[in-house]
């Protein structure tokens, strides 16, 4: 398939996913993988759709196939970490978030997901370090502020937790939208 047409088809598949037409998006990704089974992007995108539907085991298989083809994609490691975490496989999830950060140290969502995995394992101080690292580079990152606040509250550091929550609540609607749309 010519490059230009392939890009157009990829955009079409992504549009189906964004329009909540997941069944059609899955069919399109599967069709693409029949034609080009070594396309790591198609494997990852299929995994993303399946993960959105809560089909985490299937998503994990897609991400593993993508990483077998191209192992240095931070986004795929992070997505695999998210799917593993959703199934309570936090040690594995942490390993993939760390792999994502080894490839791209400034990857904010991977750092937040790493913190979430650490918190699930009751490693709150380590989780706090990850959230604070995000806030060091993006002091107004709403998601990191909320997770920092929750972690501090769990550590019974209520004054610091309240400060984190107050800062998050003081953000404008645009900052909240940017955070949750990312």
Domains of the chain plus CATH, in order, are: 1-71 (1.25.40.10), 90-182 (1.25.40.10)
CB contact at 8 A, 148 and 164: yes
Q: Does 39 have pLDDT greater than 90?
A: yes
Q: At 139, give phi and psi (nearest 5°).
A: -60, -20
Q: Centre a 10 Å sphere on the Cβ of residue 32 and count the other Cβ atoms it contains.
A: 21
118 pLDDT tier (thresholds 50, 70, 90):
very high
Average pLDDT, the chain: 88
At 181 the pLDDT is: 57
> DSSP code of 1?
-
At 148 the pLDDT is: 97
At 170 the pLDDT is: 87
Q: What is the pTM of this model?
A: 0.84
């Amino acid at each position: 398939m010519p490059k230009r047409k392939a890009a157009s088809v990829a955009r079409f598949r992504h549009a189906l996913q964004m329009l909540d037409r997941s069944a059609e998006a899955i069919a399109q990704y599967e069709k693409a993988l029949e034609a080009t089974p070594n396309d790591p992007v198609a494997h990852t995108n299929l995994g993303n759709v399946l993960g959105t539907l809560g089909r985490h085991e299937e998503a994990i298989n897609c991400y593993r196939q993508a990483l077998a083809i191209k192992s240095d994609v931070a986004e795929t490691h992070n997505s695999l970490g998210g799917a593993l975490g959703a199934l309570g496989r936090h040690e594995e999830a942490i390993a993939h978030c760390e792999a994502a950060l080894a490839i791209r140290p400034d990857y904010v969502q991977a750092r937040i997901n790493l913190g979430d995995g650490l918190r699930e394992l009751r490693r709150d101080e380590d989780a706090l370090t990850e959230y604070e690292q995000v806030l060091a580079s993006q002091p107004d990152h709403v998601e990191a502020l909320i997770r920092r606040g929750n972690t501090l509250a769990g550590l019974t550091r209520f004054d610091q937790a309240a400060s984190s929550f107050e800062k998050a609540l003081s953000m404008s609607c645009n900052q909240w939208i940017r955070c949750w749309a990312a």
